[in-house]
């Protein structure tokens, strides 16, 4: 059995969100899973991009180092921190398809430029949110060298310009449901609080905040509100 290898983006402001997400994946998993965090503090001297005024999280671009972190071998799953897993992550892992270099939920998320949680920028662009859940076929993602991730433009990375279109496979939409942006289906497997989750002081009334809060309480995580 090939165990799911998962990388979660880490931002110090979302510490409790990372912990709740990690526990939610473990709680629903039917097989052992390996979970690591993409922390900039552990990538010093490797990840050297200056902070971009348009990035809303610390892992906006470091996420693309996942294939390199895996020595460009095997498969790996990247997930944003601002999510809650409601399904068995083994079911998502089972969707690995050797025909593709990467598999994502292909959202059609059209938004206006503005702000979202904590006054962070909301930037419209093609293929928005595709990179928030990525199933990497690491050996086919060798374009994502440290140098490329450090120097490529944000759009080059997030719009997958380092791949041909036919190398980008599609995941079922239930595995990345954009809360507050689209209707939440009854069979949602991952809730994505892309506009901000209830761990932020300005997002307590966000749609499905109660679902995340119930999970946090059940897992006995203290709530440290980020202001």
Domain 5-218: homologous superfamily in CATH: Spore Coat Polysaccharide Biosynthesis Protein SpsA; Chain A (3.90.550.10)
Name the helix (H) or strand (E) containing 24. helix 15-28
Residue 225 neighbours by CB under 8 Å, 6+ apart: 199, 200, 201
User: Which pairs with CB-CB distance under 8 Å and at least 24 residues apart come from 184-190?
Assistant: 184/208, 188/86, 188/87, 189/85, 189/86, 189/87, 189/91, 189/92, 190/79, 190/83, 190/84, 190/85, 190/86, 190/87, 190/92, 190/133
Per the model's pLDDT, the better-predicted residue between 53 and 103 turns out to be: 103
Degrees (nearest 5) of the Cα angle 124, 126, 131?
95
Of 21, 7, 128, which is closest to residue 75 (Cα–Cα)? 7
Q: Terminus-to-terminus CA distance in the chain, angstroms?
A: 43
* pTM, rounded to two decimals: 0.90
Q: Is the pLDDT of residue 116 over 60?
A: no
Of 105, 66, 52, 60, which is closest to residue 81 (Cα–Cα)? 60
pLDDT level of residue 122 (50, 70, 90 thresholds): low
Q: If DSSP codes are grouped into helix, strand and coil, which group holds residue 77?
A: strand
Domain residue ranges of the chain, discontinuous segments joined by +: 5-218
Q: Is the pLDDT of residue 138 over 80?
A: yes
CA distances from 6 to 66, 82, 109, 187, 197 (A): 9, 15, 25, 22, 21
Q: What CA–CA distance (Å, rounded) separates 187 from 177?
A: 10
Name the helix (H) or strand (E) containing 217. helix 209-218
Residue 176 neighbours by CB under 8 Å, 6+ apart: 104, 105, 107, 129, 132, 133, 190, 192
Q: Are strands 133-137 and 102-104 parallel, antiparallel or unpaired?
A: antiparallel
Q: What is the pLDDT of residues 63-106, one digit of tens each?
A: 999 999 999 999 999 999 999 999 999 999 999 999 999 999 99
How many Å is the Cα radius of gyration of the chain?
16
Q: Is the pLDDT of residue 117 over 70?
A: no
Q: Is the pLDDT of residue 125 over 70?
A: no
Q: If DSSP codes are grouped into helix, strand and coil, which group holds residue 145?
A: coil
């Amino acid at each position: 059995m090939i165990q799911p290898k998962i990388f979660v983006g880490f931002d110090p402001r979302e510490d409790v969100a990372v912990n709740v997400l990690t526990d939610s994946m473990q709680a629903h998993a039917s097989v052992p899973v390996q979970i690591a965090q993409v922390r900039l503090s552990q990538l010093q001297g490797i990840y050297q991009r200056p902070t971009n005024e348009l990035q809303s999280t610390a892992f906006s671009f470091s996420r693309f180092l996942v294939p390199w972190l895996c020595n460009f071998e095997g498969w790996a799953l990247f997930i944003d921190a601002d999510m809650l897993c409601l399904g068995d992550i083994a079911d998502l892992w089972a969707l690995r398809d050797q025909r593709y270099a990467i598999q994502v939920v292909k959202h059609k998320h059209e938004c206006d430029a503005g702000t979202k949680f904590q006054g962070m920028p909301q930037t419209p662009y093609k293929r928005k949110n595709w990179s928030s859940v990525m199933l990497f076929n690491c050996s086919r993602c060798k374009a994502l060298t440290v140098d490329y991730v450090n120097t490529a433009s944000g759009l080059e990375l997030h719009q997958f310009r380092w791949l041909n279109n036919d190398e980008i496979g599609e995941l079922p939409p239930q595995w990345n449901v954009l809360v507050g942006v689209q209707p939440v289906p009854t069979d949602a497997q991952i809730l994505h609080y892309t506009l901000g989750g209830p761990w932020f002081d300005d997002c307590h009334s966000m749609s499905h905040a109660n679902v995340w809060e119930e999970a946090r309480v059940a897992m006995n995580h203290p709530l440290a509100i980020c202001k």
